[in-house]
């Protein structure tokens, strides 16, 4: 639910990278990033653990800051620890074999990132790039291992979450596969509005984070030119306008109808 002229503190994520990882672990085929890169509610694994466990895990964690344009980690690096985001905005980016980049997550305050490499011991599956100056807390791999050894119920809870996530991933893949490019783009904007939007008295929803057409293209699995073409059409129809800083969504209902076209 959008709050009148008050930013939402929820964060969001695109589940492509996580869904692909779960599918691999359980013998399922990888879903394409283009089909699955749709903004969704928070799905990172550790966030869904009991709150008491999360609080204990990050008790005494090291604090840090990262400026816009920097990276907390890069794809292929060793997973030396995990982070919880206290302030700012990041994008999780993967590269195709041809060097093309796709945004598979956008994360804000409350998000926990980098947990997969710490859990499975494999290199980072994506890069975490700062979109807005970031403050975070960091737990090293050693501290994480000590914590899980002292809390044997941790992995029992994790298995439950993995099962739920696999079901969600299957549903998301099915839904996204049948959407047109226009529908995927509309869905991205709608869910960005639900999680990062400011609702004003005239019904307009302002996305108070700078999201470029390239970012939208990465999330919807479209070419930048395709995004520009659709956004231009929506602007002419007064569905969406774009300032130098933000997107303004003027007609959420009409945008939702675009999903079914």
Candidates 125, 111, 129; CA nearest to 71 is 129
Q: Is residue 39 part of a domain?
A: yes
Distance CA 170, CA 164 (A): 10
Q: What is the CATH number of the domain that holds 106?
A: 2.60.120.10
Question: How confident is the model at residue 42, as a pLDDT?
Answer: 36
Q: Is residue 52 part of a domain?
A: yes
Q: Mind listing the pLDDT tens digit of every residue in the chain (261 residues)? A: 333 333 333 333 333 333 333 333 333 333 333 323 333 333 456 666 777 888 888 888 999 999 999 999 999 999 999 999 999 889 888 887 877 778 877 888 888 888 888 888 899 989 999 988 999 999 999 999 998 888 888 877 777 777 776 776 776 676 667 788 898 899 889 888 887 788 888 889 998 777 888 888 888 888 899 999 999 999 999 999 988 778 899 999 999 999 877
In the chain, the number of structural domains is 2
Q: Is residue 5 part of a domain?
A: no
Per the structure, the complete domain to which residue 246 belongs is given by: 181-258
Q: What is the CATH number of the domain that holds 246?
A: 1.10.10.10
Among 162, 177, 192, where does a domain finish?
177
Are 197 and 205 a contacting pair, CB within 8 Å?
A: yes
Cα end-to-end distance, the chain, whole Å? 25
CA distances from 184 to 115, 176, 257, 261 (A): 28, 7, 12, 11
91 and 44 in a single domain? The answer is yes
Among 156, 177, 198, where does a domain finish?
177
Among 177, 212, 239, where does a domain finish?
177
Residue 113, SS3 per DSSP: strand
98 and 168 in a single domain? The answer is yes
Q: Is residue 1 part of a domain?
A: no
Are 11 and 17 a contacting pair, CB within 8 Å?
A: no
Are 111 and 89 a contacting pair, CB within 8 Å?
A: no
27 and 109 in a single domain? The answer is yes
Distance CA 219, CA 104 (A): 6
Q: Which residues are paired to 112 by β-bridges?
A: 84
131 and 147 in a single domain? The answer is yes
Distance CA 127, CA 73 (A): 6
Question: How confident is the model at residue 61, as a pLDDT?
Answer: 92
Q: Is residue 4 part of a domain?
A: no
162 and 119 in a single domain? The answer is yes
23 and 149 in a single domain? The answer is yes
209 and 98 in a single domain? The answer is no
CA atoms within 13 A on the CB side of 176: 28
């Amino acid at each position: 639910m959008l709050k009148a002229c008050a930013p939402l503190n929820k964060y969001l994520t695109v589940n492509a990278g996580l869904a692909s990882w779960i599918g691999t672990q359980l013998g399922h085929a990888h879903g394409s990033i283009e089909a699955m890169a749709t903004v969704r509610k928070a799905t990172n694994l550790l966030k869904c653990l009991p709150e008491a466990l999360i609080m204990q895990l990050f008790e005494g964690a090291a604090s840090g800051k990262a400026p816009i344009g920097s990276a907390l980690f890069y794809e292929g690096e060793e997973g030396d620890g995990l982070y919880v985001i206290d302030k700012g905005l990041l994008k999780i980016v993967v590269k195709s074999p041809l060097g093309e980049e796709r945004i598979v997550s956008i994360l804000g305050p409350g998000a926990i990132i980098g947990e997969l490499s710490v859990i499975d011991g494999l290199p980072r599956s994506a890069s975490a790039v700062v979109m807005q100056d970031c403050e975070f807390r960091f737990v090293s791999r050693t501290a994480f291992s000590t914590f899980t050894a002292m809390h044997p119920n941790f992995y029992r809870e994790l298995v439950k979450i993995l099962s739920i996530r696999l079901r969600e991933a299957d549903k998301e893949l099915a839904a996204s596969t049948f959407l047109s490019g226009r529908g995927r783009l509309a869905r991205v904007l709608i869910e960005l509005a639900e999680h990062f939007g400011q609702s004003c008295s005239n019904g307009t929803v302002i996305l108070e984070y700078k999201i470029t057409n390239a970012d939208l293209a990465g999330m919807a699995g479209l070419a930048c030119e395709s995004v520009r073409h659709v956004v231009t059409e929506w602007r002419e129809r007064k569905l969406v306008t774009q300032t130098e800083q933000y997107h303004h969504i003027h007609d959420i209902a009409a945008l939702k109808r675009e999903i079914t076209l």
